[in-house]
Amino acid sequence: MATYTKANPTLANAGRSFLGKTIKKYTIDFAVNATDFSATEMAGGGAVQAVISKITENANIVLISAVRADAGSNAGQLFDVYLEHGDAGTSTYDGTNSETFIADLEDRIQALTSVGAGLVDLSSATVAATTDALGGVFSA
């Protein structure tokens, strides 16, 4: 009987995706300090749900962190999303102008000026690609 030496997988000490597409981590900062999103905007129809809806227009969400307070200058709320969307580069995501995925996502979220239970204005929200100890940016 023939024997085979197993050659794969050989894993490096690095983050890795087994989905076949690149997974990237983004931090979304609502830039609103007068609203506790984790207490009032998580339910259906809330501002967090509206943002998730915008994200899923062009990407698949793999993981979402808890909403947490921002220790930065705006003392707002933020959360992280891990997205499976291949190696999204510059495109006409909204059908009009060519821009990066992150710029388009930020524009879509900033267009939410009166959403959720408290009619939250997200026009100052930001989206940033991030990396962390978990790998942050996984490549297939």
Beta-bridge mates of residue 134? none
pLDDT at site 50: 94
Q: What is the pLDDT of residues 41-51, one digit of tens each?
A: 888 889 999 99
Q: Give the pLDDT of residue 135.
A: 46
Q: Supply the pLDDT for residue 16.
A: 59
Note the pLDDT of residue 108: 93
pLDDT of residue 90: 67
The list of the chain residues with pLDDT below 70 reads: 1, 5-20, 72-75, 86-88, 90, 92-93, 132-140
Whole-angstrom distance, CA of residue 32 vs CA of residue 51: 14
Cα–Cα distance for residue pair 17/66, rounded to 1 Å: 22
**109-122 confidence digits (pLDDT tens):** 999 999 988 899 99
Residue 77, amino acid? Q
Domains parsed from the chain with CATH numbers: 23-132 (3.30.70)
pLDDT of residue 74: 61
Sequence-distant (6+) residues with CB within 8 A of 106 are: 125, 126, 127
Look at residue 32 in the predicted model and tell me its pLDDT: 85
Q: What are phi and psi of 52, to 5 degrees?
A: -60, -40
pLDDT at 70: 78
Q: What is the pLDDT of residue 136?
A: 45
pTM over 0.95: no
Which tokens in the block code for residue 117? 């239970």
pLDDT of residue 72: 66
d(CA 139, CA 2): 35
